[in-house]
């Protein structure tokens, strides 16, 4: 694992790059992905571990272990999916108030069942992460894992900062774009193969098959670890730190709301 490096010169053109991402993927984000997640919700966690050869759970454990929590804190889990992060945080500190926010009602239905089975409560709100329906400065911490490549990060990071209290921390983790073109090419081939094999093994619906190229293109047009750090700073966060793994294919970031 290595620390994130210096942002590339391309970060000076972030608004234009983000517009190109939105133009390329808006239809996928608004139409195809909701159908994909509704289809895969019942087996999403298992499929993620199968596709990542068990690494997804390991990454999540490392991500959650770095999140600083204390009794009474109010934590927002953005794009919470099946509540894996929230459940892990509550296992560490049961006196947290965790609010899960996600676009997929199907994924959250699974997450609520998991929380109920463990005897914990996680608030659930369905909506668009680009427009968080929460008051300014209403959370002590926020998390976002394995979802930002499916979002306009300039808008979402700004919204996360808005709802955090001064001094509140934002913890981010996702699959990112490796700066090394060889690693990027190998990574893309691996992703396409994983999506195909997982869709076949779990008999996923047609939407998942139609998204095979998208999952590779989403990484290709996304940002490197250093660029994510620069975007966080551009949205008004301070004390931005991060670590990258696998040549920048995965990274964790922590940032503070000034």
pLDDT(141) > 50: yes
Tokens of 18: 């983000």
Q: pLDDT tens for residues 83-134?
A: 999 999 999 999 999 999 999 999 999 999 999 999 999 999 999 999 999 9
Instruction: Identify whether the C-beta of residue 114 lies closer than 8 Å to the C-beta of residue 83.
Output: yes
> What CATH number did the domain enclosing 96 receive?
3.40.50.150
Please check whether residue 1 lies inside any domain of the structure. no
Counting the structural domains of the chain, the total is 1
Please check whether residue 227 lies inside any domain of the structure. yes
CB atoms within 10 A of CB 183: 15
pLDDT(7) > 60: no
| Beta-bridge partner residues of 256 | 169, 238
Instruction: Identify whether the C-beta of residue 147 lies closer than 8 Å to the C-beta of residue 141.
Output: no
Please check whether residue 2 lies inside any domain of the structure. no
Write down the pLDDT at residue 251: 95
The three-state secondary structure class of 181 is helix
Please check whether residue 61 lies inside any domain of the structure. yes
DSSP state of 122: -
Provide the domain limits for residue 161: 7-257
Instruction: Identify whether the C-beta of residue 78 lies closer than 8 Å to the C-beta of residue 53.
Output: no
Q: pLDDT tens for residues 201-235?
A: 677 777 777 788 898 899 999 999 999 999 999 99
Greater pLDDT, 176 or 57: 176
Q: pLDDT tens for residues 180-200?
A: 999 998 888 888 777 777 777
pLDDT(250) > 80: yes
Please check whether residue 103 lies inside any domain of the structure. yes
Q: pLDDT tens for residues 61-75?
A: 999 999 999 999 999
């Amino acid at each position: 694992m290595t620390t994130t490096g210096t942002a590339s010169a391309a970060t000076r053109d972030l608004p234009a790059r983000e517009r190109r991402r939105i133009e390329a993927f808006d239809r996928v984000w608004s139409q195809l992905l909701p159908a994909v997640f509704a289809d895969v919700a019942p087996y999403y966690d298992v499929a993620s571990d199968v596709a990542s050869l068990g690494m997804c759970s390991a990454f999540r454990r490392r991500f959650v272990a770095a999140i600083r929590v204390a009794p009474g804190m109010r934590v927002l889990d953005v794009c919470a999916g099946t509540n894996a992060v929230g459940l892990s945080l509550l296992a560490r500190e049961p006196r947290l108030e965790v609010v899960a926010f996600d676009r997929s009602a199907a994924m959250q239905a699974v997450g609520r069942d998991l929380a109920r089975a463990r005897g914990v409560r996680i608030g659930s709100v369905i909506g668009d992460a680009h427009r968080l329906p929460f008051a300014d400065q209403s959370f002590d911490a926020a998390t976002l894992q394995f979802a930002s490549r499916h979002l306009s990060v300039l808008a979402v990071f700004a919204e996360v900062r808005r709802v955090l209290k001064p001094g509140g921390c934002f913890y981010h983790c996702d699959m990112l774009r490796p700066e090394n073109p060889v690693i990027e090419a190998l990574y893309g081939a691996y992703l396409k193969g994983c999506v195909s094999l997982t869709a076949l093994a779990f008999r996923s619906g047609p939407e998942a098959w139609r998204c095979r190229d998208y999952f590779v293109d989403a990484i290709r047009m996304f940002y490197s670890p250093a660029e994510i750090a620069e975007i966080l700073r551009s949205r008004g966060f301070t004390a931005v730190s991060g670590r990258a793994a696998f040549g920048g294919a995965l990274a964790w970031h922590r940032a503070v709301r000034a």
